[in-house]
Amino acid sequence: MESGSCEFALAFITTIAQQLMQAELDKFKVSVQILQDYYHAIEERLIPEAAPSTTVELGFDEGDAPAVESLPEGADATNADLYTYPRLDKLLVLALKQQIITDYSQQAQAVDPKKGAPKGKAPPAKGAQQVVEEEKVEESVYVKELKEALKVEKGIFRYRLVQIRNWSLKNLRECRRDFIGMYRKLEDWIFVAQRAEMEAIDQLCILIKQHIESEKKIKPELRIKFMDFTIDRPVLNFITPPPPLLPAVEDYREDRFSIDQLKFLQTEFQTMEASQITRE
């Protein structure tokens, strides 16, 4: 849990959702530009040339980014459907704001001074302010088709964004639920391992206690490794005997006999004494 594997997985799914929404946004911008260019080419008088579309990058500012989805200790998987993901929701809101486009189907019709004033009206006085009359341009068939096509593109854009959000939300909830289940299993495994380890230590203590009470040596080797306690009977334990004492080394001196010489003299004196007693 401290390594943040769950948080990394949740952030990875959110990043995939962001990339998919960005792709849908770019596709929507390009589709709108193609439609406007097409209908502008048909009726240039009614539909002025659209401004070049700019690609909007979906992202967050450093201080405006929502917190990364986290999985606190002791989280419950029963309310996984009620848990919200602020980053995913903010991405959806940012993407939906980009569906607003400029309406180029209406234009202002002004009087062209080179062509003269319309019939039945006096020409404006020289130096006077020319009055520009704005008349509502009657929508042609192509303008209506353009509006309908843009409406369809907006609907497709919203539908695909919601589909991406639903897919991401489903994966986020499943990921969160799986991690909670895994953490619960890990807790159970830790409890079982601790219990098995304590039982192995208890068995070792009982065996040693029995040998102490019976005043017997433990000859086979006892082995305990984590939760496994075994008695290795082929391997016998003995007290290592002390090393044999080396014979004493005597320093040689000219003014006295050595120990071997004294022993030899003692043997000769005893032999001589025995011979003398026999003669007598």
Spatial separation of the C-alpha atoms in residues 215 and 198, rounded to whole Å: 26
Spatial separation of the C-alpha atoms in residues 22 and 13, rounded to whole Å: 14
Angle between helices 86-97 and 5-42 (to 10 degrees): 10
3-state secondary structure of 125: coil
pLDDT in tens, 129-181: 444 344 444 567 878 888 888 899 999 999 999 999 999 989 988 888 888 88
Structure tokens at 150: 């843009």
Backbone angle region of 226, left / alpha / beta, with phi > 0 → left and psi within -120 to 50 → alpha: left
Spatial separation of the C-alpha atoms in residues 51 and 54, rounded to whole Å: 9
Torsion over CA of 139, 141, 147 and 152, rounded to 10 degrees? Answer: 160
pLDDT in tens, 37-94: 888 777 765 555 555 556 678 877 666 666 666 666 556 655 655 677 888 888 888 8
Question: DSSP letters along 198-260, please?
Answer: HHHHHHHHHHHHHHHHHT----EEEEEETTEEEEEEEEE--PPPPPPPPPP-PPP-TTS--HH
